[in-house]
A and B are shown apart, each in its own frame.
Chain A
Amino acid sequence: MPPPADTIERPAAALAAPYNEMFEASDRPRPHYKLLQERLTGFGMEELQRRQLAADQSFLQQGITFTVYGSDEGTEKIFPYDVLPRIIPAREWDVLERGMTQRITALNLFLHDLYHDAKIIRDGVIPAELIYTCKHYRREMCGVDPIARNYLTVVGSDLVRVPSGEFAVLEDNLRVPSGVSYMLANRSVMKRVFPILFRDYGVRSNDHYCQELLTCLRELSPVTHADARIVLLTPGVYNSAYYEHAFLARQMGIQLTEGRDLVVHDNVVYDRTTAGLRRVDVIYRRIDDDFIDPVAFRSDSLLGVPGIMNAYRAGNVVLANALGTGVADDKAVYAYVPQIIKYYLGEDPIVNNVETYVCSRDAERDHVLKNLDKLVVKAVGESGGYGMLIGPHSTKAQQEEFRELILANPRNYIAQPTLSLSVGPCLLGGSIVPRHIDLRVYVLHGKRVRIVPGGLTRVALREGSLVVNSSQGGGSKDTWVLHQEVAR
């Protein structure tokens, strides 16, 4: 595997000038950032740093951490937090909301189709080979009918702003997307650190996320009575997102459960309680498909629950997200999402994809091989910033390595133009500097789609870096969606 992209030296001026979130001209802030700029000037640097310190202290004391695999210096780390907010005007959010609702609706229909009649393949819109070679395709799901035909209950899509200023979807996370707890934690710290600024801005609340999530899960319950038992299934305390699992369970008031707490008897799932075994109806699972049932999938795993797949197929328990959703976030399938939206909804995408070359298509592969120094190449099954070649930042040797990898297994690679993510202001080392950011939006989908305003804005903290993943030195900041348009 090549080294993480961030360790590669940055070439000078390889990228187009990025969109600046705060300034429309070198000295003129955009209308919705004007008030922030005035206040920042009023605070002065010392005061800002004092508040940053207060925020860091708050994260530490609350123990808001993530786990780094294979790290020597203690496994728990604080997710770096930048105190300056990212601000999204109401009009832009409206587009995103409609676009994401459309996208999730189409992807959900797509999944149902794939695991039933597969009309989209028969109609020649998407090649059969692409689907059936996908490592996240689950034959076990064929013919299974999830309640409300719901495959995608929680989706986290990564959006970037391209230089023109438009948002585009960089990728969808349809399996067990994480990070929403940081969105909520960032907000609560922000309200403590900048209460007056926050109030004066008119920011839409995101406090109700957990209630909305629980509502979605409840809508999928196989039993009609209101006291359906809903639990969150976590791989346990060593998982990198364990903090989030515990946080969500606590905020929803549901039980945090590990595989070893659950047993399946006669195709019914029970948990082991001090009062004996009790039936479980809905499981918000944060364990990957591969590990959820050692009988059906990986027998070497102890994280999951033996027999749970059969209970699921028998309709005795709901798993959210459904199994097998990963086939629709394969990076090569992603390239087809605009066609998928068109096919199922008869509409054009409201939020576009980033231009993508699929290496299994001959012409596109040739183009990629000729332009390895300009493109970002990604392995389709990887996430977290691994398995990537960032062309303009790479050496000849690395490009050669990827050429061979692509030729050996074209299905496994896609390429995209090197995007210059937009930059937003960050408080770092005693000054305010621009850093590249993206946006993960969380979409909830029960019987209908619900999107809580905002999301997780991730920041590439190192100068020039485009890598925002927390596992590779990224941080985050609060995302403000405004109630009203700001007058120019």
Chain B
Amino acid sequence: MLSRVADSLYWMSRYLERAEHLARAIDVQLHLALDEAPAFASVGWICLLNGLRADLPAHLCADDRAVTDALTFDRSNPSSIVSCIAQARENARQVREQITTDVWEELNRLYLAVTARNIDSVWKSGPHEFLRSVQRGAQLLAGVADATMDHAEGWQYIRLGRFVERAMSIAWLLDAHFGLRSLEWEGEPTADDFVAWSGLLRSFSAFEPYCKSHTVELRPNRILNFLLFSAEFPHSMRFCATQIHSAVSAIGEWTGTPRGATVRRLAGKLESELAFGSLDDAHAVDLAETLRQYVRRCLDVHNAVYRRYITYTVDEALRESDLDAVNR
């Protein structure tokens, strides 16, 4: 597969994952705002914006509509939903012969649906329907890609992009959330606590799966444990790390060379830290530091993939292989 193609597929997938995460997080926050005490109202947005690493003016947080517009329809914000979907589509357009028609058409449909709307039309009818449709569109795309594409190298880059993006957004949002709220509380949790913690879970579609494992007793430590270390839940750090490791291993096999050794080692390291890690370890170091460490590990994998497969120089490639032997 062309290096350029791998690059585009990877980013197409990351942008879609980002759009989906954004849509869900905004939807949750708008919903929470209905239940939150007025004093808390902008705390939720601040937390969300920190978790998105979004660089938006603080005053927006006082205005639900303005912040929703900035995160959803503002083309000048490169990480708004519409910008993410436009960039996903642009990446897909560059590699259109590598994805199936079904994938392309779903993505094109999502793009047309999002660009046809604006904050006025969405706000009037209540933004929930719209934000749900973005999530559904992104999920549908992931499903269509899984169902219609060869699970070969290109698909592995799509998987890699999805889970690298997801892992980093989990780490960032947890970091933002626990930076503002204590892990322990004294006495009974209040209604506001419930709103905040269930909001965190819902931001990762985790509320129902959490309840199934731990009942509706929301306890910060259990929540953290679930979102970091669950082996089965698709929005946990550990699950993402396993997928990342599996994707880069498959890519290593597809490319048929020992070139992927470093990449696999780094992905394996990330996975084993989560597979064999525990909350106690995390607290022993300091939670925030542990979360940042996971983000660094994801970036290490990302950079290694780029160095080995995508941005290598021609000189390196010539040095590594005897071209005549490889090609003929």
Interface residue ranges, A against B (CB under 8 Å): 60-63, 236-237, 242-243, 246-247, 249-250, 255-258, 260-261, 263, 265, 268, 270-279
Q: How far is the CB of B204 from chain A (nearest CB, A)?
A: 31
Q: Assess whether B317 is in contact with A276, with CB atoms less than 8 Å apart.
A: yes
Supposing A250-B97, A265-B323 touch, asked if A274 and B104 sit within 8 A by C-beta, the answer is no
Q: Assess whether A255 is in contact with B105, with CB atoms less than 8 Å apart.
A: no
Q: How far is the CB of A173 from chain B (nearest CB, A)?
A: 23
18 contacts between A and B (CB under 8 A): A61-B109, A61-B112, A62-B101, A62-B105, A63-B93, A237-B90, A243-B96, A246-B93, A250-B101, A255-B97, A257-B2, A265-B314, A265-B318, A272-B317, A275-B1, A275-B259, A276-B257, A278-B326
Q: Which residue of A lies closest to B90 (CB)?
A: A237
Closest 5 CB pairs of A and B: A250-B97, A275-B255, A246-B96, A249-B97, A279-B327
Residues of chain A within 8 A (CB-CB) of B6 are: 274
* In the bound complex, CA of A246 to CA of B6 (Å): 16
* In the bound complex, CA of A237 to CA of B89 (Å): 12
B320 close to chain A: CB less than 8 A: yes
Q: Assess whether B309 is in contact with A277, with CB atoms less than 8 Å apart.
A: no
A60, A265, A277: most-surrounded residue (chain B CB, <10 A): A277
CB proximity to A under 8 Å, residues B34-84: none
Supposing A272-B3, A277-B321 touch, asked if A256 and B314 sit within 8 A by C-beta, the answer is no
Q: Assess whether B112 is in contact with A60, with CB atoms less than 8 Å apart.
A: yes
B328 close to chain A: CB less than 8 A: yes
* In the bound complex, CA of A246 to CA of B98 (Å): 9
Q: Which residue of B lies closest to A274 (CB)?
A: B309
Per-residue interface assignment for chain B, residues 181 to 202, with 1 indicating a CB less than 8 Å from any chain A CB and 0 otherwise: 0000000000000000000000
Supposing A270-B323, A274-B1, A274-B251 touch, asked if A246 and B97 sit within 8 A by C-beta, the answer is yes
CB proximity to A under 8 Å, residues B1-28: 1-6
CB proximity to A under 8 Å, residues B307-326: 309-310, 312, 314, 317-318, 320-321, 323, 326
B300 close to chain A: CB less than 8 A: no
Q: Which residue of B lies closest to A76 (CB)?
A: B93
Q: Assess whether A275 is in contact with B254, with CB atoms less than 8 Å apart.
A: yes
Q: Assess whether B97 is in contact with A274, with CB atoms less than 8 Å apart.
A: no
Residues of chain B within 8 A (CB-CB) of A243 are: 96
* In the bound complex, CA of A124 to CA of B260 (Å): 64
B225 close to chain A: CB less than 8 A: no
* In the bound complex, CA of A250 to CA of B317 (Å): 27
* In the bound complex, CA of A249 to CA of B97 (Å): 6
Number of interface residues of B (CB under 8 A): 38
Q: How far is the CB of B116 from chain A (nearest CB, A)?
A: 11
Q: Assess whether B109 is in contact with A274, with CB atoms less than 8 Å apart.
A: no
Choose among B94, B105, B153 the residue that contacts A63 (Cβ–Cβ < 8 A): B105
Q: How far is the CB of B218 from chain A (nearest CB, A)?
A: 43
Supposing A255-B2, A270-B323 touch, asked if A275 and B97 sit within 8 A by C-beta, the answer is no
Q: Which residue of B lies closest to A257 (CB)?
A: B2
Choose among A61, A237, A242, A273 the residue that contacts B2 (Cβ–Cβ < 8 A): A273
Q: Assess whether B4 is in contact with A61, with CB atoms less than 8 Å apart.
A: no
Q: Assess whether B96 is in contact with A250, with CB atoms less than 8 Å apart.
A: yes
Residues of chain B within 8 A (CB-CB) of A268 are: 323
Q: Assess whether A63 is in contact with B327, with CB atoms less than 8 Å apart.
A: no
Q: Assess whether A62 is in contact with B2, with CB atoms less than 8 Å apart.
A: no
Residues of chain B within 8 A (CB-CB) of A242 are: 93
Residues of chain A within 8 A (CB-CB) of B321 are: 276-277
Residues of chain B within 8 A (CB-CB) of A265 are: 314, 318, 323
* In the bound complex, CA of A276 to CA of B256 (Å): 10
Q: Assess whether B3 is in contact with A274, with CB atoms less than 8 Å apart.
A: yes
Q: Assess whether A274 is in contact with B314, with CB atoms less than 8 Å apart.
A: no
Q: Assess whether A276 is in contact with B2, with CB atoms less than 8 Å apart.
A: no
In the complex, given contacts A272-B4, A276-B255, A276-B321, what are 12 additional A-B residue pairs having Cβ atoms less than 8 angstroms apart? Answer: A62-B101, A250-B101, A256-B95, A256-B98, A257-B2, A272-B317, A274-B309, A275-B254, A276-B312, A276-B326, A277-B314, A277-B317
* In the bound complex, CA of A243 to CA of B109 (Å): 17
Q: Which residue of A lies closest to B8 (CB)?
A: A237
CB proximity to A under 8 Å, residues B151-189: 153
Q: Assess whether B3 is in contact with A277, with CB atoms less than 8 Å apart.
A: no
Q: How far is the CB of B158 from chain A (nearest CB, A)?
A: 14
* In the bound complex, CA of A263 to CA of B97 (Å): 21
B108 close to chain A: CB less than 8 A: yes
* In the bound complex, CA of A274 to CA of B260 (Å): 10
* In the bound complex, CA of A263 to CA of B3 (Å): 13
CB proximity to A under 8 Å, residues B92-148: 93-98, 101, 104-105, 108-109, 112
Q: How far is the CB of A285 from chain B (nearest CB, A)?
A: 16
Q: How far is the CB of A137 from chain B (nearest CB, A)?
A: 33
* In the bound complex, CA of A255 to CA of B3 (Å): 12
Q: How far is the CB of A143 from chain B (nearest CB, A)?
A: 27
Q: Which residue of A lies closest to B255 (CB)?
A: A275
Q: Assess whether B320 is in contact with A261, with CB atoms less than 8 Å apart.
A: no
Residues of chain A within 8 A (CB-CB) of B317 are: 272, 276-277
Q: Assess whether B1 is in contact with A276, with CB atoms less than 8 Å apart.
A: no
Q: Assess whether B256 is in contact with A261, with CB atoms less than 8 Å apart.
A: no
Residues of chain A within 8 A (CB-CB) of B310 are: 274
* In the bound complex, CA of A257 to CA of B5 (Å): 9
Q: How far is the CB of B222 from chain A (nearest CB, A)?
A: 41
Q: Assess whether B257 is in contact with A271, with CB atoms less than 8 Å apart.
A: no
Choose among A61, A258, A263, A279 the residue that contacts B328 (Cβ–Cβ < 8 A): A279
* In the bound complex, CA of A342 to CA of B153 (Å): 54
Supposing A246-B97, A255-B2 touch, asked if A263 and B112 sit within 8 A by C-beta, the answer is no
* In the bound complex, CA of A260 to CA of B7 (Å): 13
Q: Which residue of B lies closest to A229 (CB)?
A: B327
Residues of chain A within 8 A (CB-CB) of B318 are: 265, 277
Q: How far is the CB of B311 from chain A (nearest CB, A)?
A: 10
Residues of chain A within 8 A (CB-CB) of B94 are: 236-237
Q: How far is the CB of A202 from chain B (nearest CB, A)?
A: 28
Residues of chain A within 8 A (CB-CB) of B326 are: 276-278
Q: Which residue of A lies closest to B323 (CB)?
A: A277
* In the bound complex, CA of A278 to CA of B109 (Å): 36
Q: Which residue of A lies closest to B108 (CB)?
A: A63
Q: How far is the CB of A340 from chain B (nearest CB, A)?
A: 37
* In the bound complex, CA of A62 to CA of B100 (Å): 12
Q: Which residue of A lies closest to B93 (CB)?
A: A237
Residues of chain B within 8 A (CB-CB) of A260 are: 4
